[in-house]
Amino acid sequence: MSKDNLEDTQQVKTSGMNKVPVKMDDTQPVVVKKPKRARVILVGFLVTFILGLAGGGLGYQQGIQDRITRQKDEILKEAALQYQYGVQQFENGNYELARTHFEFVLQNYADFPGIAEKYTETMVKLAQASMPTAQPLATPTLTNLNAEALFNQAFQEVQTQQWAASINTLDALRNEDTAYRTLEVDGLYFIALRFRAIEMIVNEGNLEEGLYFLSLLSRYAPLDHDAVNYSSWARLYLTGASYWDVDWEQVVNYFSQLAAAFPYMHDGNGWTATDRFITGSENYGDKLAGEGQHCDALQYFQNVLNYSAIERVQDKYNVSYLKCYPPTKTPLPTETPAPEVTPSEEATEPPLMPVP
């Protein structure tokens, strides 16, 4: 065998970069691994799509909010402009035009600062502008007065702050002629009802009827700031009084607010808000102490003592305080025996000093 043939029959060994790929049989299956890059691209596409949807939703909501804000700003700007026009017309004495501008503001932006007061002042000016000079009149019975005389009498009573009498006269005027000078009559009604309602609530303690008059007043125009406060306080008083002898905790809750805002508001029985707060606090403190909740009762007894040093309440406070914070026993000192001293054997008596 030749050398060349011998080399062909020997196994060829290669290593490293000199390896020769082995040709595979065509009948064997070829396994091809799919690259992982496609999966990453798919996941990235889904994440991008989801984030796009979320961002679009947030952008849509933000767009709606921005549109609402722009609409509110436009309404506020228009209300401010109409208010300025109304003030100019009012200062020029054109009260009818001023009323038109103020009514626009009330209809579109009722919370605009100062609009209720300005509208009320305009209604008063309109009522006064069309009135003749009031002449002193005798006080005849309402049955034989015509509409003009009733109107003049109502005007006099408003000028002299006879609120109850002016309302009665205006009622008679409406019964006499419902179409007589309606704008001026409405203005007088507005003034009379407003001040009569406050008079009932503050001076007479007639809270229910005062609230009724304020509700009638709201039909003509929005209530001014003071009227709204008096209405809220009257409702607060009536609500707190409805819990009397039923739920002392609610009594204290309502009258604590009223005692801070309007301490001398009272009802027909003469009970002020402060009186009801003090009595309610004492009764609720008694209830808590009776249930063994002495620590909670201390606060309500203290409410009473903050207003007046009532001896019986002070005694209740002291009892609850001792129950809530009982004194601790002080340990007695124990006698310790003195240590015994045993003389040492080495110890000797000191030498005597020589006597001179």
**pLDDT for residue 136:** 43
Kindly indicate the confidence band of residue 7, based on its pLDDT and cuts at 50, 70 and 90.
very low
The residue among 46 and 301 whose pLDDT is bigger is: 301
Kindly indicate the confidence band of residue 56, based on its pLDDT and cuts at 50, 70 and 90.
low
Residue in the block written with tokens 């000192």: 333
The span from the CA of 23 to the CA of 210, in Å, is 109
Percent of the chain with pLDDT over 90: 29
Residue in the block written with tokens 């009733």: 150
Kindly indicate the confidence band of residue 139, based on its pLDDT and cuts at 50, 70 and 90.
very low
DSSP category for residue 221: S
Residue 260 has pLDDT above 60, yes or no: yes
Kindly indicate the confidence band of residue 65, based on its pLDDT and cuts at 50, 70 and 90.
confident
Question: Quick count: other Cβ atoms within 10 Å of Cβ 125?
Answer: 17
Alpha carbon dihedral 3, 8, 13, 18, in 10-degree steps, equals 100
Residue 354 has pLDDT above 90, yes or no: no
Residue 144 has pLDDT above 50, yes or no: no
pLDDT 10s digits, 67-91: 777 777 777 788 788 888 888 888 8
The runs of H, that is alpha helices, within the chain are: 3-9, 37-91, 95-108, 115-129, 147-159, 163-176, 182-199, 207-217, 225-241, 248-261, 273-290, 294-307, 311-324
Q: Average pLDDT, stretch 162-181? A: 89
Q: Average pLDDT, stretch 125-141? A: 51
Residue 135 has pLDDT above 50, yes or no: no
**In Å, how far from its chain's centre is CA 185?**
38
**pLDDT for residue 341:** 55
At position 346, the amino acid (one-letter code) is: E
**pLDDT for residue 13:** 45
Kindly indicate the confidence band of residue 140, based on its pLDDT and cuts at 50, 70 and 90.
very low
- From 22-31, 49-58, 248-257, 323-332, the region with the lowest mean pLDDT: 22-31
pTM value is: 0.54
The residue among 24 and 268 whose pLDDT is bigger is: 268
Residue 145 has pLDDT above 80, yes or no: no
